[in-house]
Structure 1
């Protein structure tokens, strides 16, 4: 195991705890809450959980970028800023969030940074598609207490070990102290787009972006459930396949607790990540 991975993991767990504790206090003080919560079972208490956890990931990501200058961190930070704009609009009076077309436009601008990595025009256009898909996957997954943070843990365990991946894994562990059910802090779109941006650009820079389908399997399932629901709803004039999407909400409607959902989804993601690790390291 890489010494940098271990050292930065341990340091990030300790630092991250104080960072996210501060984010929690600031979020409560600022009233950084979503003004609109989806209407189902007992989720209305989540209207009083601040969205400020993503600010902690931005801070940790910035410190890592200043130390390592890893290009994937630049994309992660810019994607996180797009999410921050969305989170801020959710805390305003009407709380509708940023319109999808504006978010897509901002992600197009983020994708232009791939030119500075030596990518050609076609490769940059492809990078935008990968970035949009991956950030959508992480965003849709972030909908149950502890879910996104937990499913990302096996992902970062199988990524090539370095100070960057170790530190981001450590930040996830410390974040889960505050996000595990019942959650006291959410990462919001700021955090989910930060991690989606990192994973997309990290794999693009390695030329292994197709592995994201397996590496982010839970996110793929979440997105697929939404697409299937929308298509079926329109074709059948209002019928649904699932009780609610993304699919983790379907299980919530069935009466599953968030910890049970997290355990199942994390187990599936762990198996998928293990297959990725074997695929990358097997002497074919």
Structure 2
């Protein structure tokens, strides 16, 4: 809104020209979303903990560090999503269809996650809403968004996939692209949700992935100004406005991390993890980096796969468990790793995956 207002006055004031620059607006978005998130979270902590007693139910994992988390408020994702949306609407072009679509995904999945969180804290169990109902909600939101994005993308690239590390190799999925895009968005949403199990564990990888996606959105929109032959990327007009949104994700997540680092004063909750996961999923679809997201967000893939493998091993291998506990961060807890060691190791792993993913742009 602020961006659109300033742009309308550019002709009358040369100073406002600076707001044409996506990088400038992205930098401001980081600062603004950080400030909002950092300021709002203490209010949520006080409200949830002392006024409403809305604390996260803790699974009994036989671990003293988890028992100590009892009474910690949840739903901190409310502050993250609020900060992102406000900052984006102020500093990005709110008429941009890709920005609106991403906000719709975030807001819809945040509402779904909020309902899930509220049921958990009021019923004092870790189940939340029915898994089938949650999946149906995710599918409905994803279908709407995929149809909108597919309609607005250039028809020459809309159904195509870039295969990282294979120059000029693309695959046309044709009618199968929409189901594939649904898988990316829903898979990303649930994978991030599964990763959110230890203090600070999911927040830094989200920041890293948001940075990478923001960079790739900027490159995709400005492909005509760079040597596109040296970058494995499609030209997606107006995608750079998502760089502002990605920057808002970074800032809001940094503000939250201050209170979520061990020992956490508040948890993100499904309201944050489902919506942020869905956001990076739809951004990867818009910028045509669907497979590259699987590399950059490799940590999320590992967490999700560990849970899937565990379920199938128990079901089809006579109850045998591949991991002591899933998702995999709980496995490392069970074999004696400290929480801080697991979190720092997974952060490092996320950085490595991001570097590999970014290198696929030029290799």
Equivalence for 2:45: 24
Equivalence for 2:244: 163
In the alignment, is residue 180 of structure 1 matched against residue 261 of structure 2?
yes
Q: Which runs of 5+ in 2 are unaligned?
A: 1-21, 152-158, 160-174, 216-242
Q: How does 1:209-224 map to 2 (within 5 A)?
A: 209-224=290-305
User: Separation in 1 of the partners of 2:47 and 2:290?
Assistant: 37
TM-score scaled by length of structure 1: 0.92
Residue 116 of structure 1 and its aligned partner are, at CA, apart by 3.0
SS at match of 1:146: coil
Equivalence for 2:195: 141
Conserved? CA contact 1:158–1:274, under 8 Å: no
Residue 65 of structure 1 and its aligned partner are, at CA, apart by 4.7
Equivalence for 1:267: 348
Residue 159 of structure 1 and its aligned partner are, at CA, apart by 2.4
In the alignment, is residue 190 of structure 1 matched against residue 271 of structure 2?
yes
Q: What is the CA deviation profile of residues 17-47 of structure 1, one whole-angstrom value per residue up to 9, with x for unaligned ones?
A: 1021222122212222234524331212323
- Tell me which structure has the larger Cα radius of gyration: 2
Equivalence for 1:54: 77
SS at match of 2:321: coil
Conserved? CA contact 1:37–1:47, under 8 Å: no
Equivalence for 2:59: 37
SS at match of 2:197: coil
Q: What is the CA deviation profile of residues 191-212 of structure 1, one whole-angstrom value per residue up to 9, with x for unaligned ones?
A: 1011111101001111221112
Q: Given the alignment, which residue of 2, 6, 9 partners 2:30? A: 9
Q: What is the CA deviation profile of residues 69-113 of structure 1, one whole-angstrom value per residue up to 9, with x for unaligned ones?
A: 312222122111111111111112253311110001111221232
Residue 147 of structure 1 and its aligned partner are, at CA, apart by 0.1
User: Separation in 1 of the partners of 2:176 and 2:324?
Assistant: 40
Residue 55 of structure 1 and its aligned partner are, at CA, apart by 0.8
Q: What is the CA deviation profile of residues 109-161 of structure 1, one whole-angstrom value per residue up to 9, with x for unaligned ones?
A: 21232223344975443332212111111011000111000222222232234
User: Separation in 1 of the partners of 2:205 and 2:149?
Assistant: 29
Equivalence for 1:116: 148
SS at match of 1:159: helix
Residue 219 of structure 1 and its aligned partner are, at CA, apart by 0.8
Q: Going by fraction, where is helix more abundant, 1 or 2?
A: 1
User: Separation in 2 of the partners of 1:270 and 1:258?
Assistant: 19
**Worse-matched range after superposition: 242-251 or 15-24:** 15-24
Conserved? CA contact 1:155–1:273, under 8 Å: yes
**Worse-matched range after superposition: 20-29 or 99-108:** 20-29
SS at match of 2:360: helix
Equivalence for 1:75: 105
Conserved? CA contact 1:154–1:273, under 8 Å: yes
